[in-house]
Amino acid sequence: MNWLLIGEIGYILILALVCLRIIYDTRSTTKTVAYLLFAVFLPFIGMIFYFSFGINYRKRKMYNKKLSGNVLFLENLKKNSLVYTEESLHQDIPAMQDNSELAHLLIKDLDSPLTKRNRVKLLLNGENKFPEVIQALREAKHHIHIEYYIYENDVIGGEIEQILIAKAKEGVEIRFIYDDFGSRSIRRKMVKRMRDAGIQTSAFHKIRIIFLANRLNYRNHRKIIIIDGKTAFTGGINVSDKYINSKKGQVYWRDTHLRIDGPGVYYLQYLFLCDWIFCCEEKLSPDKYLTLCPSDDNTLVQIAASGPDSPQPSILFSMLQVIYLAKEEILITTPYFIPGDSLFDALIVAALSGLKVRLLVPGKADSLLVNAAARSYYQDLLEAGVEIFRYEKGFVHAKTMVADGKLSVVGTANMDYRSFDLNFEVNALIYDSRFGEQLRQVFYEDIKDARKMDLKAWKDRPIYLVLGEKVARLLSPLL
């Protein structure tokens, strides 16, 4: 009996079944091709990789429960916010009138209300964010909801922990969701201390075997703090000492965060409660937490969110609409730039149409492969007229967009496949010329610490670098 032939036939059958599974279970054509190539050209390794980290592996089973748990909150959201949204849409505000299509997109896609009467504060870096957060936490009266990708067991993490423990002793309800991968340093001692103090805690996707965890693909990348249903913080800054830039010799971290006071908190609260139901299956009353608390300002705010449980890549759609609606200028800051075809083409079309498109990215990224994949997009963008700046003062981790100085986006989502399809993300959209001009000036301050890329010099790079970047780009759907 020819065992070698039987083995070859068996391998071909297994490979064919794996390829059929990839085709059936992967929505994106680009990702489908990438996984197919990986499975075919890396025997067994490619198959094991797909079933360990596959984009849609167990997705429906994992998230049906999350979606069913959201129904009650979604009904409450629709009931209380649609009338409020219609009032906001008719505000005599240029930023709103010029971007009403974007507002309608998020209302129809996510039931995300457009909210007025907000006060929004821009917080640059951890040294500005954390004093604001600490003060707001100390003033909490009813509840504190916290959801973070990275929460470190360090000085700032310990200081916030002590405040939470003190507030819990005062009778304040505290719920804390941490990503089990990103916040692994707190999983034992700190989480136990919080629970012992009466703080309700839950890991988002408990990881049992770290190196064989398919759920590594479905990280909760959101950074949300909600206090009493009327104050919220969100943006790119995790809870970690490195964001404060206080240690000598450390890499300078440049990041951006927001404080929102007002009805803009409403949808962030909805997102947190849905995630909490998924983690803990605790039945909560929507009316107790979903409230509209107007501030003394009138900034328009809307929230975009997406994740593996979303029927559409809503954050990607919102970014595309921001670009489509811009008429003069688009300013983008992102630490990870693997845009995919739709976003890549939109930026090129905008630049060729005469818009000023400027992109700020890290000079040195924290991942060689991701950085190589990002560089593979630069030449086409430069040739179309996009101006690219590489930040040199340290590592730029901010995720922001400004269109025409009127519409601003600040959030957790990078411009890459992982943020658009694999991670739970959240962005805040601010329809306000005052805020837009402020964020616009921050962008121009940041590029003073960056080097503008030159197309001719970029084209003269060694061929081996170009080839490596093109190979990395082939793998980009898997990064």
Q: What is the pLDDT of residues 219-270, one digit of tens each?
A: 899 999 999 999 999 999 999 999 999 888 789 999 999 999 999 999 999 8
Instruction: Reduce the DSSP state of residue 78 to 3 states and report it.
Output: helix
- From the candidates 309, 397, 421, 432, give the one annotated as an active-site residue: 397
Q: Where are the domains of the chain?
A: 3-57, 61-75+121-293, 314-478
**Is 228 assigned a catalytic role?**
yes
Give me the pLDDT at residue 364, please.
81
Lowest mean pLDDT among 21-30, 197-206, 234-243, 437-446: 21-30
Catalytic residue (choose from 404, 421, 432, 446): 404
129 part of the active site = no
Quote the Cα angle for 12-39-310, to 5°.
125
At residue 432, the pLDDT reads: 95
Chain mean pLDDT for the chain:
86
For domain 314-478, the CATH architecture is 2-Layer Sandwich (3.30)
Active site residue 261: no
Supply the pLDDT for residue 212. 47
Pair of tokens at residue 148: 């973070």
CATH code for the structural domain at 61-75+121-293: 3.30.870.10
pLDDT of residue 66: 56
Catalytic-labelled residue, pool 59, 129, 205, 221: 221
Query: Active-site residue 104, yes or no?
Result: no
- More confidently predicted of 442 and 479: 442
Per-residue model confidence (pLDDT) at position 470: 80
For the question of whether the overall pTM of this predicted structure is more than 0.85, the answer is yes
Element at 315 (helix H, strand E): helix 314-325
How many percent of the chain have pLDDT more than 90?
57
pLDDT at residue 57, rounded to an integer: 43
| pLDDT tens digit sequence for 416-447 | 988 988 899 999 999 999 999 999 999 999 99
pLDDT in tens, 47-58: 666 665 555 544
221: annotated active-site residue: yes
Where would I find the beta strands (DSSP E) of 413-469? Answer: 425-431, 450-452
State how far the alpha carbon of 289 is from the alpha carbons of 17, 267, 306, in Å. 48, 11, 21
Tally of CB atoms within 10 A around 14:
13
β partners of residue 173 = 143
Catalytic residue among 180, 228, 421, 446: 228
DSSP state of 308: T
User: For residue 24, is pLDDT > 70?
Assistant: no
Contacts of 339 (CB under 8 A, 6+ apart): 347, 377, 415, 416
How far is the C-alpha of 472 from the C-alpha of 476, rounded, in Å? 6
pLDDT of 97: 81
404 is catalytic: yes
